[in-house]
Each structure stands twice: as C-alpha cells, then as structure tokens.
Amino acid sequence: MAQILGLGLTHYPGLAMQDREMTLFLRRTLADGGVPPELRDPATWPEPMRREWGDDQGAAAAAEHRRRSLIALRTLRGALDAFGPDVVVIFGDDQYENFVEDIVPPFCLYLTDRMESRPFATESESFLRANIWAEPADKVFVHAGHPEIGRFLAHRLHALGMDLPYAYRLRYRYGLAHAFINTLLYLDYDRTGFPYPVLPFHVNCYGGELIRRRGGAVGPGAATGEPDPPAPSARSCFAIGQAVARAFAPSEYRVALIASSSWSHAFLTRKNHWLYPDHESDRARLAELAANRFVGWRDLEGDAIEAAGQHEFRNWIVLAGAMAEIGAKARVVEYLESYVLNSNKCFALFAINGESS
C-alpha cells in the first residue's frame, strides 16, 4: 500500500523579496486608482494595519513575517526529508503563465522528466528588484519530473472515472509557473538541494478572473456581459483529491502531496477595497483545519470563496479531499495573518496516526 504525506504551504512571492519590497502589492494597489480616496491615507486604516505599516512601510513587519515563515518551511522540509518520498505532487495554480487564451483546463498533470525554470528572469522584469538570495536573473533551476509515476496516476484516475488533462511540456518561457517554482524554492530556502521528483498538478483557481485580468497583471475593474467560465467547484476539487489518493492507494509509492497557496489575498478581496485580506473567513477555515473538519470544505460555494479572496484556496481543497480519503489528521505548523503583506499564510502537515507530529 502507498504511504502518503500531506503538506500545505504558501508560494507568496514576497518571501523571495527583500524586506523593504514585500509591501509592493499594497503599494501597487494604492497607486492604481481603484481605492477610494478616503482609504488612501493610512490614518483611516484599521488599527492593526496601521501598526504593521508603521513608519517604515511594513519593512519590520515583513522581517518578522519572513522569520516565522522560514521556521515553518524548515519544519515542513524536515518532515519531507524524514518521509523520503518517491514523488512530490504539487497542487498549484497558473496565473496566465502556461495557460492563456488558447486553453484553460480545470486540472492538468505534467508528464515531463525534466523542468528548467528561470524565476528571477520574469520577476525582475515586473516587481522583484533583488531576490533575497542575491541569485542572478539568468539562474536556471532544474527539477526532475517522474513521467512513469505520472502515467500511472493518469491511468489509475481514468479507471476511477476521472479523465485528467495532461501535458508533456511547459509552455511558459520561464519554465514552471510561479506557484510551483516558488514552492520548490521555498522548500529549499537554505539551498541544500531538492532531490525529489516532482509532478506539477495544475488547478484552475482563478476561473473567470484568469483571462480577463491576465493573472493579476490587469486591475480588477468592472466585468460586463456574461462572465467567463468559472473555476472548478469546491466539490470537484475535493473529488479530484479523493481520486488521487485512491489512485495511489494500491501502489508501493511513497507520495508527498502538497497544496501550494496563501489563503485570502488582498488584491482579490473587493469588499475590503483590495487593501487587506478577509481575516474572518480565513479564521473560519483555520478553525476547521485545526479541528480536522476540513471535509466541510467540499461544500464551500464558489461565490463565497471568491468574495473572500480565497481563489487559490482551491489547491488546499484538493489536498483536503486526498487527506480525508486516507483518514489523515492535520497539524497546523504556523498561521500568519497580515494586513499589509497581501495574504494570510497557513503551513500544515497531514499524516495518518500522528506521523506529522
């Protein structure tokens, strides 16, 4: 029988930035004209937000955010190393990187034996002025895939009635989409190497927002006419996660399943004028996770997910389906709430019989 470990973490780009740059998302929101004039003055913000912003535009808050994130990431990496997986499956989203106007599948499995990525080439063109490792823009990161296990998974999913789209190559000119490459960079934050084969598993978290906003490159604006097709429902995400666990179950593989995303994102939370995340909704999800009631995530409504800015939380719902299927229990390693650093972050381990503790 397969051995399965679950991990949840963030791929927040800010962890690759210098402290002083990590509030860039908020500063960009304030500059783009969509925030009411009366909310542009920090004096009008909620008190915790003013405290985080401080007199240094959030640099001190960013340093503490990074410190706690790194402790959590190292805990997760230690659990991963102790487990020794044959393959690491990452549930991550695409933000107008591999999937653009020609096709946007709800899910997609990558069957490739080698992935080359240049994450700093693209980020330096947009908002990453200097990465925290001082690595050059042209640095190439190489990660091994595992097409044999990928084909096994695709065949088993087919037998279970889940016909999954798949791809043999990356179309994004910089390699892996940032949800995947950032996950790998952060799990190797100390640059000791990442020896495990990887199966990227795309989840279309953004649905109708993906093309219209070009993965966030275009401001929210006002949609007109019939909306674009939606992201897969929570029930579909949960079901595909259950199917992945069932597919691996009869094998002898040691499989690490990773959900990669922050939770509520400020730039997606309209009701807060895109200034800060939906803390109330994220706290509800956290309470459910801590109490091992994450099976209820399959019943979340798409409109509620997106009103809370939790679009990328669908990656966690896929993982929740897999963990519920095998009867795994969750341990929250860290939870970081922030008003000025774009998103709330959760780090968690899932395992059977307390193996994650």
Q: Any idea which of 77-91, 110-124, 284-298 has the lowest mean pLDDT?
A: 110-124
- pLDDT at residue 64 tops 80: yes
- pLDDT at residue 351 tops 90: yes
- The pLDDT > 70 percentage for the chain reads 92
Predicted pLDDT of residue 34: 83
Predicted pLDDT of residue 221: 55
- pLDDT at residue 93 tops 80: yes
Predicted pLDDT of residue 42: 96
- pLDDT at residue 356 tops 50: no
- pLDDT at residue 126 tops 70: no
Q: Which helix (H) or strand (E) holds 154?
A: helix 147-159
Predicted pLDDT of residue 284: 98
Predicted pLDDT of residue 215: 57
Predicted pLDDT of residue 173: 93
Predicted pLDDT of residue 103: 86
Half-sphere exposure of 246 (CA within 13 A, CB side): 16
Give the residue-averaged pLDDT of 298-313.
97
pLDDT band at 86 (very low <50, low <70, confident <90, very high): very high
- pLDDT at residue 357 tops 50: no
pLDDT band at 255 (very low <50, low <70, confident <90, very high): very high
Sorted by sequence, the CB contacts under 8 Å of residue 353 that are 6+ apart come out as none
Tokens 């993982």 — which residue? 319
On whether the CB atoms of residues 277 and 265 are closer than 8 A, the answer is yes
**pTM of the full structure:** 0.95
Predicted pLDDT of residue 270: 94
Please provide the CATH number assigned to the domain covering 3-354: 3.40.830.10
Sorted by sequence, the CB contacts under 8 Å of residue 343 that are 6+ apart come out as 10, 12, 262, 263, 264, 265, 266, 277
Question: DSSP labels for 246-308?
Answer: HHHTTS--EEEEEEE--SSBGGG-GGGTTSS--HHHHHHHHHHHHTT-GGGGGG--HHHHHHT
Predicted pLDDT of residue 299: 98
Q: Any idea which of 30-39, 40-49, 205-214 has the lowest mean pLDDT?
A: 205-214
Q: Which residue has the higher pLDDT, 196 or 33?
A: 196
Give the residue-averaged pLDDT of 116-127.
78
The structural domains of the chain, with segments of one domain joined by +, span 3-354
Give the residue-averaged pLDDT of 237-247.
98
Encoded amino acid at 117, one letter: S
Supply angle C-alpha 332, 315, 171, rounded to 5: 135
Q: Any idea which of 20-34, 199-213, 251-265 has the lowest mean pLDDT?
A: 199-213
Give CA–CA dist 264/288, Å, rounded.
Answer: 15
State how beta strands 329-336 and 114-117 pair: unpaired
Candidates 133, 178, 177, 5; CA nearest to 78 is: 5
pLDDT digits (tens, 9 = 90+) for 175-224: 999 999 999 999 999 999 999 999 999 999 998 776 766 655 555 555 55
